[in-house]
Structure 1
Amino acid sequence: MSKPPSLFGGLATLLGAALRAPFAGPASPLRWLALLLFLPPFVALQVVHWVALALDDLLFPAYRRVEVREPLFVLGLPRSGTTTLHRILARDEERFTTLRLWQLLFAPAIVERKALAALGAVDRAIGSPALRTLRWIERRLTSWMDEVHPISLDEPEEDYLFFLPLFAAFILVLVAPRDPRLWRISRADRSPAEADRLVAFYRRCVQRHLYLEGGDRRLLSKNPSFTPFIEALDRAFPDARFIGCVRTPSKVVASQLSSLADGARLMGWRVEAPEHRDRIVAMLVFYARHLVETFDALPSDRRETVVLARWARDVPTGVADLYRRFGWTVSPTYAEALDDEGQRSRSHRSRHHYALADFGLDDAEVDTLFAELLNRMESV
């Protein structure tokens, strides 16, 4: 198995990518201002993470002996229901442990997690003024995302954010829309050596989390951005289970472009521009084809394709069928939680509105590009 990047190698990768970022996008005063506000604190935080990760090896070397047994990866196309499925499965707290946003952004290292726990205890002892301030800031900064992808520091989130210290989380394409490395990572399995190094780093981060919170529980990971890493993940976690979420392609494409639009404008570029729109669509086409091809090569008892829209009518039955495929049983405690999730799913109405026409595309054109995925959906 590949070795994860070292402290100095990781820092060199981070700093090199950060120096390229200002030039990996269209030049505009708004973009330069946004980069000036974003990059310095971002890079400083990642440097802190690298130092803390190195300290883990000195202070808590036992984490490297933690087994990562039978992790479950929820992936597939972006905007296809992965967040909803992640939330449903995370309710099975006897079986799974999953990552929270605050852990991914501020405490990927054991040292950081313990330090924040100590500070939190002090804050609670004096009435939680820091926590209340943080909640206030959180709502002011994230409320604009509520219609697209609600964000909360305490909620389960995509653990591909572990790649931030390597400037390799694909969300950073908002900052550097022309960075060739980010686009190469969006087809990671085509570059196996690089994919294996990134997944080796990810595995170490997972071991840290399980060292602190795992016990007998399995990792639950939800990342559409891991769809191009399926082969690398299979090599690193040979007993892993995979769920591939799929959705009508025209809705996926329109929703993904719409979800990126505000962040892109903030960084001085527009997803509607053919240069960027066509690149994003081509990436989604790769995701769809790669999902179909790699799932066909996996053992049938280690993968399942889910069309979540069909689950909305009967979430408990959908989960029970999924668990049977993987050789698991639904506990009585989780069964009660599933009844709640079923009612929630049936009453859910998205407030995120979008249309392909907003981006100069039409349904027939998109359906032609995603013909293999449409065939897979019909067979599920």
Structure 2
Amino acid sequence: MIYYFDFAIWFRLVRLAAQEPNSGARRSLLKLLLWAVPLRAAVHALCFFLDGILFPGLWRVKVKAPVFVIGHARSGTTLAHRLLCGDERFSAFKYYELLLPSLLQKKLVRLVAWLDRHLFGRRIERRLQDWEKRKFGPTQHIHKMGLTIPEEDDLIYQASCASGFWMTKLPYMGELDFFHIDQRPAASRRRMMRFYKECVRRQLYLNGGDRIHLSKNPTWCGRVESLIEAFPDARFVVLYRNPYETIPSLLKLLNVSWKLQGNMSAERIRESTRVMTDLSYETYLYPIEALKRHPDVPCAVIDYRRLTAAPKATIEQVYADLGLEMTPAYRAFLDAEEARAKRHETEHRYSLAEFGLSDQEIRQRLAPLFEQFHWDADTASLSAQESDHD
């Protein structure tokens, strides 16, 4: 399998970087795109090619009935993914494994980790933990990340310039589109998904070929058709949460990431925020519209409120909808999570006005979902609570 690299997006990124008016940002971006990205991709490509030679058993691994957890960012996809990961029959990518897509690279990392534990007193591990604090510290209160924590599969495309994570570094939302994959030409779409399938096969080889791949990707709400095309036996879990909570939370996360760059103009950030807001509405509406065109595809819909209030019952319903059976060990895990959920604390809330949003506009754009999930009652309750505190 040849390593996938999106040259069209890379050329566009280089052009945008060259036109960046801020000289500091321009130099930094061009250094990243003209030196670091090609070098990283070249190493990945070599290792990816060697996988088929060094690990011949890889060719016998099949991807069977993977499960894709999707939904608007901040809607509970991470929580649902973590709960499902408690079932040892699932296989998921950890953060570092997404940054190193080849099997050879993952094997080498595991070897170094073993040597570090047994010969070097975990010195490398402690240094990496310090790096994690510097790297992820400013946004940990919004979204917890770490090298050994399961993360979004979309990161597998980062070195290929095809990942939506580029938007956390480059607020060019009006110029780049990582969402509407289903609308791309068939050849481009299939090439992209073939590479992803090869990466999943490598992860299954590493974790156990009899396992079920489990993926969590809010940004993949726009590629439901492409996933079904690549994995005809795919199963989906779709999360829904009140958009008054999710949309400003996502915008806050992105704005914090953009401002941390230190050299992005306020005007560009405002424009990207506007584009991201419009994209949020599609993220809510498109997955169910696409899945309705495939009634034979197993799908479970999760209401975030029920997931946090009754995680065990919610996941049991997901298993029933997807045709999965629970093991006694996994039921015990869910019992423990049920007890933990009773100690759940209220999360941060973010202001709609901070991003120029109005509840009327959101209510109008997502009216069918407000009626389906009765979010108006939540909004009235929240307003009453805020009035009591005034």
Return the offset for 1:33: 6.0
2:388 alignment partner in structure 1: none
Q: Distance in 1 between matches of 2:16 and 2:338?
A: 44
SS at match of 2:309: coil
2:380 is matched with: none
> Is the aligned partner of 1:345 residue 2:338?
no
Would you say the 8 A contact 2:245–2:349 is kept in 1?
A: no
The Cα shift of 1:198 comes to 1.4
1:175 and 2:169 equivalent?
yes
Deviations 1:278-308 (A, max 9, x none): 2111111222221121122233660011112
Q: Does 1:109 align with 2:102?
A: yes
User: Which of 156, 159, 167 is the aligned partner of 2:153?
Assistant: 159
Q: In 2, are the aligned partners of 1:47 and 1:165 still within 8 Å (CA)?
A: no
**Residue identity matched to 1:311:** L
Task: Quote the offset at 1:334 in angstroms.
Answer: 0.8
Aligned partner of 1:188 in structure 2 is 181
149-158 or 297-306, larger mean C-alpha shift: 297-306
Aligned equivalent of 1:374: 370
Question: What is the Cα deviation at residue 332 of structure 1?
Answer: 1.1
Alpha-carbon distance in 2 for matches of 1:356, 1:30: 32
1:56, CA displacement in angstroms? 1.5
Q: Which residue of 1 aligns with 2:202?
A: 208
Post-superposition shift, 1:343? Answer: 2.6
Q: What is the aligned partner in structure 1 of residue 76 from structure 2?
A: 81
Partner amino acid, structure 1, of 2:157: F
Deviation at 1:327, TM superposition (A): 1.8
CA distance in 1, matches of 2:296, 2:266: 41
Counterpart residue number, 1:334: 330
Residue deviations 1:162-209, cap 9 Å, x none?
Answer: 1113201111023333377731x3111111523222111100100111
TM-score norm. by structure 2 comes to 0.87
Q: Is the 8 A contact 1:75 1:242 kept in 2?
A: yes
RMSD over aligned CA atoms reads: 2.5
Residues 309/230 of structure 1: CA separation in 2 closer, same or farther (3 Å cut): same
Q: CA deviation at 1:256?
A: 1.0
**Range with bigger deviation, 339-348 or 73-82:** 339-348
Q: Please say if residues 228 and 234 of structure 2, whose CA atoms lie closer than 8 Å, have aligned partners that are also in contact.
A: yes
CA contact (8 A) 1:260 1:271 kept: no
2:314 is the counterpart of 1:318:
yes
**Which residue type is aligned with residue 79 of structure 1?**
R
Measure the CA separation in 1 of the matches of 2:148 and 2:98.
Answer: 11
Secondary structure class of the residue paired with 1:182: coil
Give CA-to-partner distance per residue, 1:324-372, whole Å, 9 cap, x none: 1122222111111112222333322355341110011111111112223
1:12 Cα deviation after fit: 4.5
Instruction: Report what 1:276 is aligned to.
Output: 272
CA 1:259–1:173: 2 relative to 1, 3 Å? same
Identity of aligned residues (%): 30
Distance 1:259 1:69 in 2: 34
Inter-partner Cα distance in structure 2 for 1:275 and 1:156? 31
Give the length in aligned residue pairs. 370
Amino acid of the structure 1 residue aligned with 2:132: E
Structure-1 separation of matches of 2:267 and 2:79: 25
- Whole-angstrom distance in 1 between the partners of 2:284 and 2:58: 35
- Structure 1's consecutive aligned runs of 4 or more residues displaced over 6 angstroms after TM superposition are none
- Correspondence 1:121 to 2:114: yes
Give the counterpart letter for 1:253 in structure 2.
I
Residue aligned with 1:265, SS:
helix
One-letter amino acid of the structure 2 residue matched with residue 247 of structure 1:
R
Given that 1:82 and 1:222 are in contact with CA atoms closer than 8 Å, whether structure 2 keeps it comes out as yes
CA distance in 2: counterparts of 1:27 and 1:174, whole angstroms = 19
8 Å CA contact 1:189, 1:229 repeated in 2: yes
Task: Give secondary structure in 2 for the equivalent of 1:317.
Answer: helix
RCO higher in 1 or 2 (8 Å CA, sep ≥ 6)?
1
The DSSP-based 3-state class of the residue aligned with 2:342 is: helix
Query: Residues 219 and 366 from structure 1, CA distance in 2 versus in 1: closer, same or farther, beyond 3 angstroms?
Result: same
Q: CA deviation at 1:42?
A: 4.6
SS in 2 for 1:228: helix
Which residue does 1:31 correspond to in 2?
25
Say whether residues 1:264 and 2:258 are aligned partners: yes
2:48 pairs, out of 50, 53, 70, with: 53
Distance 1:359 1:311, change over 3 A: same
User: Which secondary structure state, in structure 1, belongs to the residue aligned with residue 176 of structure 2?
Assistant: helix
Greater mean deviation of Cα atoms: 355-364 or 291-300: 291-300
Q: For 2:213, what is the secondary structure of its paired residue?
A: strand
Q: Which runs of 5+ in 1 are unaligned?
A: none
Number of the residue aligned with 1:92: 87
2:14–2:30 Cα contact (<8 Å) kept: no
Structure 1 stretch 56-65 or stretch 140-149: which is displaced more? Answer: 56-65
Q: 1:310 to 1:271 in 2, by over 3 A?
A: farther
Give 1:227's match in structure 2, choosing from 221, 232, 247.
221
Q: Indicate the residue corresponding to 2:291 in structure 1.
A: 295
Q: Would you say the 8 A contact 2:171–2:268 is kept in 1? A: no
Cα distance per residue 1:75-121 (max 9 Å; x no partner): 0111111001111110111x20111011112x210111121122222
> Are the aligned partners of 1:316 and 1:338 in contact in 2 as well (CA < 8 Å)?
yes
- 1:219-242 deviation per Cα after TM superposition (whole angstroms, max 9, x unaligned): 010001111110010011111110
C-alpha distance 54-270 of structure 1, shift in aligned 2 (>3 A): farther
**Counterparts of 1:321 and 1:347 in 2: how far apart (Å)?**
22
Instruction: Say whether residues 1:199 and 2:213 are aligned partners.
Output: no
Decide whether aligned partners of structure 1 residues 49 and 101 sit closer, same or farther in structure 2, where only a CA change above 3 A counts: same
**How far did 1:41 drift?**
3.8
1:246 aligns with 2:240: yes
Pairwise CA distance, 1:60: 2.7
Name the TM-score, length of structure 1 as normaliser.
Answer: 0.89
**Residue number in structure 2 paired with 1:364:** 360
